């Protein structure tokens, strides 16, 4: 219904107000499920068809529609193949997440979400299936174009803004794919084997933040297993964590075809299977024989009915959206999504100049603007860069040569025409990228290289005209190190949606300032990436052996060379940062203030990134981690103070020993940066810690006892006996670093109980008896309990 313009997205329905605030108001009219038969309740826990939830007409429970997103509505007409791609109703195709995320602009994500919600409502779609906040563990993941970042903090903030926007229109969202869905290879069976701390610090936080901050109406479970258990049957994830710890009160829906055992899934916390498998009788039988309780089935059915009520605002007759306004928003989004990686001064081009411009590359005429798979949108219109460049520069200045065939077939004639165009031009703008089939749901890439025929074309064009600008079209990281010296400027265009062509032209001619920043590290080589030896696994298992060290956490901790670091992006102006101030607030919170100044001659936008560095943590931690960010747009010479807040989680790590988030009392460093490698200022702050003391046992080392605020006091008297264990050091032993220096360090790592035993053999006599050890452990337990109370 996009052909009847309105002023803009219609205002949210009354029920949407409670949705946006995370409330459950507006469910008073939900029909009771206790009055339904067991068979009726079981029917509610599977879909009616591929795109509709089941209703119970006799009870006044309507069937509602869901549809694919996340960067545009993919609603299949009733008469069409429900799965068929390219047959959906026209809708605005916004830049996919790979582009939108590069804006680092939560307000933009919210506005795009509002537009998506308005379009869903105009088509009576109750739930838009997005956003995807899975982490970009490897650049090879075929679905990376649908995900925001390699960093969970950034992914969570952007995802929450998106959800707030969509749900402000009365339309629900589906946060996906929960959890650890980081590859397409064997996605229906593979087990993501992840240690507890890595799961908590890398792969769950984005989901956690979106759930707590934006209250998505549904969460979609992933296809894969997590540590051997299907995500659809994972009680720990779906019930203990999602509902119990995070307070999620919405509906858990399966990814399409993700359910292996409906009874186990419902018992674990899955509310509805999509699409229906015709196995409702299994649920009825499980209730009858006691494998499921009536209460478990009631809870799932009630959540389905509650979702239908909460999305009543999505089903309003006569709702329309303004297709022209949404296309303009798509162009604004594309302008903010592109990242200027390199510029020798050739950009921006002069729209009023007289020199000829050679536009080369089929992507300039036939744009790649989205990835393939279930998110494929039929756009309401489609801009291309060639037409937009010609309109800005004038047809007399522009010569076009396709240069290469989209299927990769070498064509010497196309290359010759492109070289001739470049030779006769003042500047050559060469559009390169990945073929559409290489980036798709359902399979992963095998390399990160631009096709060889395109790179051969670049070499020929650069030889003919060194004033060559390269514009990339790709949905995930590509290798640029081996050829970027042939580009005087390099614009990472990602996939920019239906208005990306006009946005690219505006950026090339300086009508807008490049403001995108990388949300994933661009490596020198695929072999440099941390998951390289452990992706995509084998025999239905993939081991996340790199642990916490994903993306910049790995590269920066090693100070390893990269092509371009996380957070990098150039502008047509320059910026300085000054006056960094870090003021500790209540507990382990801080307020960070810094001043950004535009020191160039053009208006531009800079993103300030705040990283936290813990130099003396008791556990291994990445060298620094992103914990806040903010954008500021400044005129030439203008300065503006930006204030950001760091909550307690900014300083916490997940203690696998204690199964909780832990903040240690120590001094940490707060870093203000323009990328993870461009640190502009540093300030230290002393944290009091969380005041919760971890346990100690007889198997805790002497070092752990001494480092413990309570244990260190109790075990102090043992140090006198320990001193008697040190043998005199002869000169040679001292030169080797032995004797007095080596023995105490050696025993510091021994468990306390073993130290007592070894002490007797060292001639120091028994350090203490088993009864003494038992009493010491009991004493520390009492004092820890008292201090933590």
* DSSP per-residue string spanning 384-450: -HHHHHHHHH-GGGEEEE--S-TT----HHHHHHHHHHHHTSSEEEEEEE--GGGSBTTB--S--PP
Burial of 218 (0-12, 13-18, 19+ CB in 10 A): buried
Residue closest to 495 by CA, chosen among 162, 70, 789: 70
Q: Which residue of the set 68, 186, 255, 528 is catalytic?
A: 255
Are 721 and 621 within one domain? no
My answer on whether 742 and 671 are in the same domain is no
Question: Which CATH number do you get for residue 599?
Answer: 2.60.40.10
Percent of the chain as helix, strand, coil, to the nearest 5: 35, 20, 45
Query: What's the Rg (C-alpha) of the chain?
Result: 29
308 and 163, same domain (yes or no): yes
pLDDT tens, residue by residue, 749-760: 888 888 767 655
Last residue of a domain, one of 558, 587, 615: 558
Please return the burial class of 184, using the count of CB atoms within 10 Å of its CB with bins 0-12, 13-18 and 19+.
buried
Residue 112, both tokens: 């795009």
Please check whether residues 660 and 775 belong to one and the same domain.
no
112 to each of 72, 96, 212, 227, 606, how far by Cα in Å?
10, 11, 21, 36, 21
What token pair was written down for 294? 């009536």
* In the chain, % of residues over pLDDT 70: 91
Are 723 and 765 within one domain? yes
For the stretch 687-732, pLDDT in tens is 999 988 888 999 998 888 888 889 988 887 766 665 655 555 554 4
Domain-embedded: residue 569: no
Give the chain's largest Cα–Cα span.
97
Q: Domain end: 558, 589, 613, which one?
A: 558
**Is residue 677 located within the same domain as residue 762?**
no
For 521-545, write each residue's pLDDT tens digit. Answer: 999 999 999 999 999 999 999 999 9
Measured CA to CA, the distance from residue 48 to residue 278 in angstroms comes to 10
- The answer to whether 610 and 643 are in contact (CB under 8 A) is no
Query: Tokens in use for 122?
Result: 């105009």
State which of 532, 558, 584 marks the end of a domain: 558
Angle, CA 222 vertex, CA 372 and CA 116 arms, to 5°: 55
pLDDT digits (tens, 9 = 90+) for 488-528: 999 999 999 999 999 999 999 999 999 999 999 999 999 99
Would you say residue 693 lies in a domain?
A: no
Where residue 501 falls (left for φ over 0; alpha for ψ -120 to 50; beta otherwise) is: alpha
**CATH code, domain carrying 545:** 3.40.50.1700
Determine how many CB atoms are found less than 10 A away from the CB of residue 758. 14
Give the per-residue pLDDT at 752.
Answer: 84
CA angle centred on 302, ends 296 and 306, rounded to 5° = 150
Cβ-based neighbours of 156, under 8 Å, separated by 6 or more: 133, 205, 206, 207, 208, 209, 210, 213
Alpha carbon distance 168, 158 (integer Å): 16
Long-range contacts for 297-302 (Cβ within 8 Å, ≥24 apart)? 297/38, 297/41, 297/42, 297/45, 297/266, 298/33, 298/34, 298/41, 299/271, 300/41, 300/44, 300/45, 300/266, 300/270, 300/271, 300/272, 301/33, 301/36, 301/41, 301/44, 301/45, 302/30, 302/33
**pLDDT at 123 (0 to 100):** 96
The pLDDT mean for the chain works out to 91
Tell me the per-residue pLDDT of 571-628, one tens digit each, with 9 for 90 and over. Answer: 999 999 999 999 999 999 999 999 999 999 999 999 999 999 999 998 999 999 999 9
Hey, CA dihedral for 15, 17, 19, 25, is it positive or negative? negative
Residue 179 falls within a domain, yes or no?
Answer: yes
The pair of three-digit structure tokens given for residue 770, joined into one six-digit string:
């088993």
**Residue-number span of the structural domain to which 672 is assigned:** 575-687
Residues 666, 547 within the same domain: no
pLDDT tens-digit series, residues 636-670 = 999 999 999 999 999 999 999 999 999 999 999 99
Q: Quick check: bond before 275 cis, omega within 30?
A: yes
Q: Is 255 a catalytic residue?
A: yes
pLDDT digits (tens, 9 = 90+) for 367-400: 999 999 999 999 999 999 999 999 999 999 999 9
Residue 739 has what pLDDT?
A: 39
Strand segments (E) across 152-249: 172-178, 191-193, 218-221, 225-226, 229-230
Q: For 301-341, how does the pLDDT look when each residue is reduced to its tens digit (9 = 90+)?
A: 999 999 999 999 999 889 999 999 999 999 999 999 999 99
Residue 772 lies in a domain: yes
What residue ranges in 415-535 does DSSP mark as E strands? 427-433, 468-473, 489-492
pLDDT value, residue 758: 67
Average pLDDT over residues 554-581: 98
Summarised one tens digit per residue, pLDDT across range 181-190 is 999 999 999 9
Same domain, 536 and 585: no
Query: Do the bridges between strand 666-675 and strand 678-687 make them parallel or antiparallel, or are there none, so unpaired?
Result: antiparallel
* Residue-by-residue DSSP string for 321-342: --HHHHHHHHHHHHHHH-EEEE
Alpha-carbon span 643 to 594, nearest angstrom: 7
Residues 725 and 653 in one domain: no
Contact predicate 251/20, CB 8 Å: no
Cα dist from 68 to 91, 107, 377, whole Å: 12, 23, 9
Query: 52 - beta bridge partners?
Result: 65
pLDDT score of 348: 98
Q: Residue 106 domain-assigned?
A: yes
For residues 384 and 341, state if they share a domain: yes
Tokens of 613: 């560095």
Distances (CA, A) of 1 to 122, 318, 622: 6, 9, 50
Q: In angstroms, rounded to a whole number, what is the distance separating the alpha carbons of residues 461 and 427?
A: 10
Categorize the per-residue pLDDT at 765 as very low, low, confident or very high, splitting at 50, 70 and 90. Answer: low
Q: To the nearest whole percent, how much of the chain has pLDDT over 90?
A: 81
Is 319 part of any domain?
no
Give 21's contacts (C-beta < 8 A, 6+ positions apart).
215
At which residue do the structure tokens 């107000």 appear? 17
Digit-coded pLDDT (tens) for 119-155: 999 999 999 999 999 999 999 999 999 999 999 999 9
CA distance 69 to 376: 8
- Kindly state whether residue 2 falls inside one of the protein's structural domains: no
What are the beta bridge partners of residue 172? 127
Measured CA to CA, the distance from residue 551 to residue 148 in angstroms comes to 13
Task: Write the DSSP symbol of residue 711.
Answer: H
Indicate the number of domains in the chain.
Answer: 4
The pLDDT of residue 748 is above 90 = no
9 within 8 A of 118, measured Cβ to Cβ: yes
- Residue 18 pLDDT more than 50? no
635 CB burial (10 A radius; 0-12, 13-18, 19+): exposed
Query: Do 435 and 540 sit in the same domain of this protein?
Result: yes
CATH code of the domain containing 44:
3.20.20.300
- The Cα–Cα gap between 416 and 778 comes to 83
Residue 167 resides in a domain: yes
Same domain, 54 and 118: yes
* pLDDT for the residue 246: 98
Residues 614 and 621 sit within 8 Å (Cβ to Cβ): yes
Q: Burial of 282 by CB count in 10 Å (0-12 exposed, 13-18 middle, 19+ buried)?
A: middle
pLDDT at 694: 85
Closest CA relative to residue 382, chosen from 75, 93, 97? 93
pLDDT (mean) for 237-256: 98
* pLDDT above 80 for 737: no
């Amino acid at each position: 219904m996009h052909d009847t313009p309105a002023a803009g997205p219609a205002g949210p329905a009354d029920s949407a107000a409670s949705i946006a605030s995370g409330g459950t108001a507006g469910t008073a009219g939900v029909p009771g499920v206790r009055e339904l038969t067991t068979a009726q309740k079981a029917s509610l826990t599977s879909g009616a068809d591929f795109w509709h939830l089941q209703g119970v007409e006799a009870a006044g429970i309507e069937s509602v529609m869901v549809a694919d997103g996340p960067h545009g509505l993919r609603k299949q007409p009733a008469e069409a193949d429900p799965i068929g791609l390219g047959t959906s109703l026209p809708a605005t195709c916004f830049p996919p997440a790979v582009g939108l995320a590069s804006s680092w602009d939560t307000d933009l994500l919210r506005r795009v979400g509002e537009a998506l919600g308005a379009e869903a409502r105009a088509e009576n779609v109750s739930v838009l299936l997005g956003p995807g906040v899975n982490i970009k563990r490897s650049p090879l993941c075929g679905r990376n174009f649908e995900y925001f970042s390699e960093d969970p903090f950034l992914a969570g903030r952007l995802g929450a803004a998106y959800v707030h926007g969509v749900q402000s229109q009365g339309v629900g969202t589906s946060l996906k794919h929960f959890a650890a869905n980081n590859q397409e290879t064997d996605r229906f069976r593979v087990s993501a084997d992840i240690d507890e701390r890595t799961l908590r610090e890398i792969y769950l936080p984005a989901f956690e933040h979106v759930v707590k901050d934006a209250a998505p109406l549904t969460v979609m479970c992933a296809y894969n297993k997590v540590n051997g258990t299907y995500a659809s049957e994972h009680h720990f994830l779906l019930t203990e964590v999602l509902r119990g710890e995070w307070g999620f009160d919405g509906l858990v829906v399966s990814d399409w075809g993700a359910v292996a055992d409906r009874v186990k899934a419902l018992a674990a916390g899955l509310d509805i299977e999509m699409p229906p498998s015709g196995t409702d009788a299994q649920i009825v039988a499980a209730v009858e024989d006691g494998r499921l309780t009536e209460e478990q089935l009631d809870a799932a059915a009630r959540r389905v009915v509650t979702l239908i009520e909460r999305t009543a605002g999505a089903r309003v007759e006569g709702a329309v959206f303004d297709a022209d306004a949404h296309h303009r928003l798509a162009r604004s989004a594309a302008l903010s999504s592109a990242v200027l990686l390199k510029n020798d001064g050739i950009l921006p081009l002069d729209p009023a100049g007289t020199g000829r411009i050679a536009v080369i590359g089929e992507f300039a005429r036939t744009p790649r603007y989205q990835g393939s798979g279930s998110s494929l949108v039929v756009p309401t219109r489609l801009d291309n860069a060639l037409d937009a460049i010609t309109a800005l520069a004038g047809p007399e200045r522009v010569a076009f040569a396709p240069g290469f065939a989209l299927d990769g077939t070498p064509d010497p004639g196309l290359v010759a025409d492109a070289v001739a165009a470049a030779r006769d031009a003042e500047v050559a703008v060469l559009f390169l990228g990945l073929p559409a089939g290489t980036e798709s749901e359902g399979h992963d890439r095998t390399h990160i290289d631009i096709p060889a025929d395109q790179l051969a074309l670049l070499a020929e064009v650069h030889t003919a005209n060194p004033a060559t600008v390269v514009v990339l079209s790709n949905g995930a990281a590509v290798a640029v190190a081996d050829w970027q010296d042939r580009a005087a400027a390099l614009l990472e265009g990602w996939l920019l949606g239906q208005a990306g062509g006009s946005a690219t032209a505006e950026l090339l001619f300086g009508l807008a300032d490049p403001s995108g920043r990388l949300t994933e590290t661009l490596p020198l080589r695929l072999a440099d990436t941390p998951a390289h030896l452990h992706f995509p696994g084998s025999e239905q298992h993939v081991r996340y052996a790199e642990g916490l060290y994903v993306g910049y956490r790995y590269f920066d901790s090693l100070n390893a060379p990269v092509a371009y670091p996380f957070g990098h992006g150039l502008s047509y102006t320059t910026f300085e940062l000054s006056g960094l101030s870090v003021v500790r607030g209540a507990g382990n919170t801080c307020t960070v203030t810094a001043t950004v100044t535009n020191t160039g001659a053009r208006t531009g936008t800079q993103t300030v990134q705040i990283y936290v560095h813990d130099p003396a943590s008791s556990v291994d931690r990445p060298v620094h981690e992103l914990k806040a960010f903010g954008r500021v747009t400044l005129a030439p010479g203008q300065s503006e103070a930006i204030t950001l807040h760091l909550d307690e989680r900014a300083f916490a790590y997940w203690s696998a020993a204690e199964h909780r988030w832990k903040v240690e009392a120590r001094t940490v460093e707060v870093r203000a940066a323009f990328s993870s490698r461009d640190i502009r200022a540093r300030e230290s702050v002393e944290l009091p810690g969380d005041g919760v003391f971890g346990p100690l046992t007889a198997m805790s080392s002497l070092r752990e006892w001494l480092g413990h605020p309570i244990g260190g006091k109790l075990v102090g008297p043992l140090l006198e006996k320990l001193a008697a264990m040190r043998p005199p050091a002869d000169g040679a032993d001292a030169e080797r670093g032995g004797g007095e220096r080596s023995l105490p360090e050696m025993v510091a790592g021994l468990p306390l109980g073993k130290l007592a035993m070894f002490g007797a053999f060292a001639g120091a006599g028994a350090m203490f008896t088993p009864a003494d050890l038992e009493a010491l452990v009991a004493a520390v337990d009492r004092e820890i309990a008292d201090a933590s109370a």
